[in-house]
Amino acid sequence: MKRMIVFKSWLYVIMVLLCTACVPASPEEESTEELVQVNPIAGGYYASMLPSVRTRATAQDSETLQDKPIYLLEDGSTIRLVVYDNAKNLMEEYSKAYLVRNAGTSGSSLLYPCEVDDDGTVISSSSTPLYMKAGTYYFRILSPAKALNSKGFVNIGNGEYLLATDDRYTQTAMTAVTITKIDEGGTLNNVQTLYLPPIINQTARMQFTVKAGEGVHSLEMLAEGIEISGIQQPLDNTTSFDWVNGEVLPVKVGDQSASVRITQATQNADNSLMAHTGILPTDARSHSISVLLNLKVNGNPTQYQMLLTGLYLTAGHSYNYTATVKISNGVTVLTWQNRSWTENVEMDT
């Protein structure tokens, strides 16, 4: 009986060893001795561009961001790190999403690995850092961490914002970084901090502020919100952003059937309303962009329309309009003031 027990025990051990040997190691379990752990740190984003009368009808590819302030990425937002080899071939195995966390209102943002859905919303956290072979690489980032297809394209439509690496400006351009196991002091080090450059918005923005004037004591936005039409028509409801080649979203002639609706507004302390949305870059110099506001003035539903002409909406620029509603001789009157080309405006995200 005792011999039988010993025999069975040895048989069990042998079977366990055989089964264990047949299970392949996961990437996380593979040895990382020959790899470098790369810990990225976000460089923030540029929040403002400089619209000017002289460049109203031209793309501002020559504009620089010298001396402009850099802001922290929004706490809780996501970024996607995209890596290319020295020949600028996309390396999908190194693509990784991160959750942004800020310790305060200044400094750098800390990045934590996470899993996201196609829109860049966090699904779950991850404890696996990025491991890379030593070598020279190029890095791009985009926020939110939207999904890439096999060619490295990102889809974006009207009503969305997308911050990204932008090769038009030296401050936001993709640069080469050497990943090495030897630190600056000549010491062997398997961990390297990757400092990422700031990013900038790839859509235009339209912002509307409606103020309460004489005779107006109550001002609200109806559920229908603000409808903007005559903008760039997305292709199959999405427009491709060529991430591989670093191209910006192109400016295209607007289409009267293309529209976007703003359904949320901020109520300011002075009773004014402020609402904004991302717009695909649009050439509207040959037609008008229609803005339809659905408001409740002193409790009464009211609709106003404004036609904007001669616009050339470019990526990373904000086009701001201010309207004042007042009661004149018992009639509700709305007066517009275009501020797009008369002062510097900030593009908040």
Domains of the chain from N-terminus onward:
36-201 (2.60.40.3730), 204-346 (2.60.40.3740)
Query: What tens digit of pLDDT does each residue of 90-131 get?
Result: 898 998 999 999 876 666 788 999 999 999 999 998 889 999
Q: Please tell me the predicted confidence (pLDDT) of residue 32.
A: 64
In terms of C-beta density within 10 A (0-12 exposed, 13-18 middle, 19 or more buried), how is residue 307 classed? exposed
Q: Measure the CA–CA gap between 92 and 67, rounded to whole angstroms.
A: 35
Question: Strand 135-143 to strand 176-179: parallel, antiparallel, or no bridges (unpaired)?
Answer: antiparallel
Q: Please tell me the predicted confidence (pLDDT) of residue 53.
A: 33
Q: Measure the CA–CA gap between 85 and 83, rounded to whole angstroms.
A: 7
Instruction: Compute φ and ψ for 110, nearest 5 degrees.
Output: -85, 145
What is the model's pTM?
0.76
Q: Measure the CA–CA gap between 201 and 65, rounded to whole angstroms.
A: 13
Q: Please tell me the predicted confidence (pLDDT) of residue 206.
A: 93
Question: Which uninterrupted H or E stretch holds 72?
Answer: none
Query: What tens digit of pLDDT does each residue of 266-301 get?
Result: 999 888 999 999 999 999 999 999 999 999 999 999
Token pair recorded at residue 238: 């999405």
| Cα–Cα–Cα angle for 218, 224, 225, rounded to 5 degrees | 60
In terms of C-beta density within 10 A (0-12 exposed, 13-18 middle, 19 or more buried), how is residue 55 classed? middle
Residue stretches of the chain with pLDDT short of 50: 1-29, 50-62, 339-349
Give the CA-trace dihedral at 327, 330, 334, 335, to 10 degrees: -70
The answer to whether the beta carbons of residues 154 and 243 sit under 8 Å apart is yes
Token pair recorded at residue 49: 């561009």
- Residue 2, amino acid: K
Distances (CA, A) of 111 to 37, 152, 161, 191, 272: 14, 22, 20, 15, 37
